[in-house]
């Protein structure tokens, strides 16, 4: 009888929870939802960051099984020691992410060194370097803007001689629109070289048209689980360079040509189990690929997706990562607007008046981290409705200058 009991206990399969390392889990604040949903899906969530434990948000602290604090996230040796500690205590790491563009290369190194599934050091170049992205776009049958890495005045002038003015210069590896330049004449070249960052810049021919995005999540086979698209009031580069304000919004229907270009891009970059944020120019049905980001769109856009679908994209992602289940989000039932305001701009109505006058469409509002202020403003409002007109009216009211 005892032998039978022992045999039964040894034959019972022990299922180890997924070990998921969340890099820099405290930033931005809404990304705490990733830790919450990972835990609810059954993962052992291990935080690794440079914030003191007591400075972590309550949601993050409640979701973490363990937390390892390093003095600097830029000290790779410290990160390796942290990963070694986690491995010694919990076994092999199964998943690692930050959802943050800034840490993509660090993530790739750690995945490679600790044999974790996902983007590794051999794949990161084509995703981080805009010059290498163009080669993948071409293999996908798309036509990106002509561009070239130009580090000297002579190289820049030679490229401009081929494509003409204006051109756009931006860091070959960069985040957002900071230190991005639109060069319209030779007299602007001196200012460009004086102010550019001391690193490789790619220079591209200027493409007219509307900047649009194709955003969403892909499953383990690279198939789209759900998709969304953003339309901007103006280019983010112009907003940053002119220090003006911005609004942008989701759409109910994505154009077939944009959907096709987005799916072709995802296949070409072999995206799997990732959020994606792809940028294109759209001009009278012609789609020109601009940039690939293997991360969620920034700011409060994930919250916008939730309001668009009446669903929870954080939950959908965590269930895919932990349990391999790809749940559709349903229909895009609403339009959702992000409306930003900057502290330096005098607006006609106060924040309190905004809340009172726009209460019928207001879903969420919050002060943003200063990191986002150049592009998105110091304060953001999320508005929702089934129709465009009341959202445009509220947006105009919120951003009306005093």
Which of 122, 154, 181 is the last residue before a domain boundary?
122
In a domain, 89, yes or no: yes
pLDDT in tens, 117-147: 999 999 998 888 888 999 999 988 999 999 9
281 and 323 in a single domain? The answer is: yes
230 and 347 in a single domain? The answer is: yes
Query: Given CA atoms 286, 289, 290, 294 in this order, what sign does their dihedral have?
Result: positive
Tokens coding 316:
């959908």
- CATH code at position 97: 3.40.50.20
For 37-54, b/e burial (b = at least 16 CB within 10 A) is: bbbebebbbbbbbebeee
Q: Which pLDDT value is given to residue 2? A: 40
Phi/psi at 317 (5° precision): -65, -50
- Please state whether the peptide bond connecting residue 374 to the residue before it is cis, i.e. omega within 30 degrees of 0: no
349 and 215 in a single domain? The answer is: yes
Indicate if the pLDDT at residue 320 is higher than 80: yes
- CATH code at position 327: 3.30.470.20
C-alpha 225/C-alpha 218 separation (Å) is 5
In a domain, 130, yes or no: no
97 and 162 in a single domain? The answer is: no
In a domain, 26, yes or no: yes
237 pLDDT tier (thresholds 50, 70, 90): confident
387 and 250 in a single domain? The answer is: yes
Domain that holds residue 180: 146-205
pLDDT in tens, 161-179: 999 999 999 999 866 556 8
In a domain, 7, yes or no: no
194 Cβ contact list (under 8 Å, min separation 6): none
357 pLDDT tier (thresholds 50, 70, 90): very high
Q: Which pLDDT value is given to residue 177? A: 58
247 and 183 in a single domain? The answer is: no
What is the arithmetic mean of pLDDT over 232-250?
A: 88
Segments of 84-206 assigned E as strands = 95-97, 147-149, 167-171, 181-183, 201-205
7 pLDDT tier (thresholds 50, 70, 90): very low
Q: Which pLDDT value is given to residue 9? A: 41
285 and 361 in a single domain? The answer is: yes
% the chain with pLDDT above 70:
95
5 pLDDT tier (thresholds 50, 70, 90): very low
Instruction: Pick the closest to residue 123 from 135, 138, 112 (CA basis).
Output: 112
Indicate if the pLDDT at residue 235 is higher than 90: no
pLDDT in tens, 50-83: 999 999 999 999 999 999 999 999 999 999 999 9
């Amino acid at each position: 009888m005892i032998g039978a009991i022992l045999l039964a206990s040894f034959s019972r399969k022990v299922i180890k929870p997924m070990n998921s390392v969340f890099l820099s889990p405290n930033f931005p604040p809404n990304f705490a939802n990733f830790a919450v949903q990972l835990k609810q899906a059954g993962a052992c969530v291990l935080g690794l960051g440079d914030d003191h434990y007591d400075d972590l948000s309550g949601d993050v602290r409640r979701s973490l099984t363990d937390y390892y604090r390093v003095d600097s996230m830029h000290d790779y040796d410290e990160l390796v020691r942290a990963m070694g500690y986690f491995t010694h205590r919990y076994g092999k790491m199964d998943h690692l992410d930050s959802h943050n563009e800034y840490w993509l290369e660090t993530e790739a190194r750690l995945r490679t060194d600790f044999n974790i599934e996902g983007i590794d050091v051999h794949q990161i170049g084509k995703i981080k370097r805009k010059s290498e992205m163009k080669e993948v776009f071409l293999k996908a049958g798309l036509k990106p803007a002509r561009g070239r890495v130009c580090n000297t005045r002579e190289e820049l002038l030679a490229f401009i001689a081929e494509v003409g003015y204006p051109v756009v210069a931006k860091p070959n590896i960069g985040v957002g629109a900071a230190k991005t330049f639109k060069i319209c004449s030779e007299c602007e070249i001196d200012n460009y070289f004086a102010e550019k960052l001391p690193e490789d810049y790619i220079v591209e021919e200027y493409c007219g048209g509307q900047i649009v995005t194709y955003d969403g999540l892909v499953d383990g086979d690279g198939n789209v689980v759900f998709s969304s698209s953003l339309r901007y009031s103006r280019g983010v580069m112009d907003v940053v360079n002119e220090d003006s304000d911005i609004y942008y919004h989701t759409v109910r229907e994505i154009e077939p040509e944009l959907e096709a270009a987005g799916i072709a891009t995802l296949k070409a970059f072999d995206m799997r189990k990732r959020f994606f944020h792809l940028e294109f120019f759209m001009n009278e049905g012609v789609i020109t690929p601009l940039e690939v980001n293997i991360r969620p769109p920034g700011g409060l856009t994930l919250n916008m997706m939730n309001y668009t679908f009446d669903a929870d994209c954080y939950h959908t992602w965590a269930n895919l990562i932990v349990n391999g289940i790809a749940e559709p989000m349903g229909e895009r039932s609403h339009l959702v607007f992000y409306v930003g305001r900057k502290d330096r701009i005098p607006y006609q109505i106060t924040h309190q008046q905004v809340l009172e006058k726009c209460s019928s469409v207001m879903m969420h509002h919050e002060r943003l981290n200063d990191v986002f202020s150049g592009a998105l403003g110091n304060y953001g409002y999320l508005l929702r409705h089934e129709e465009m007109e009341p959202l445009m009216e509220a947006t105009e009211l919120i951003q009306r200058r005093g």
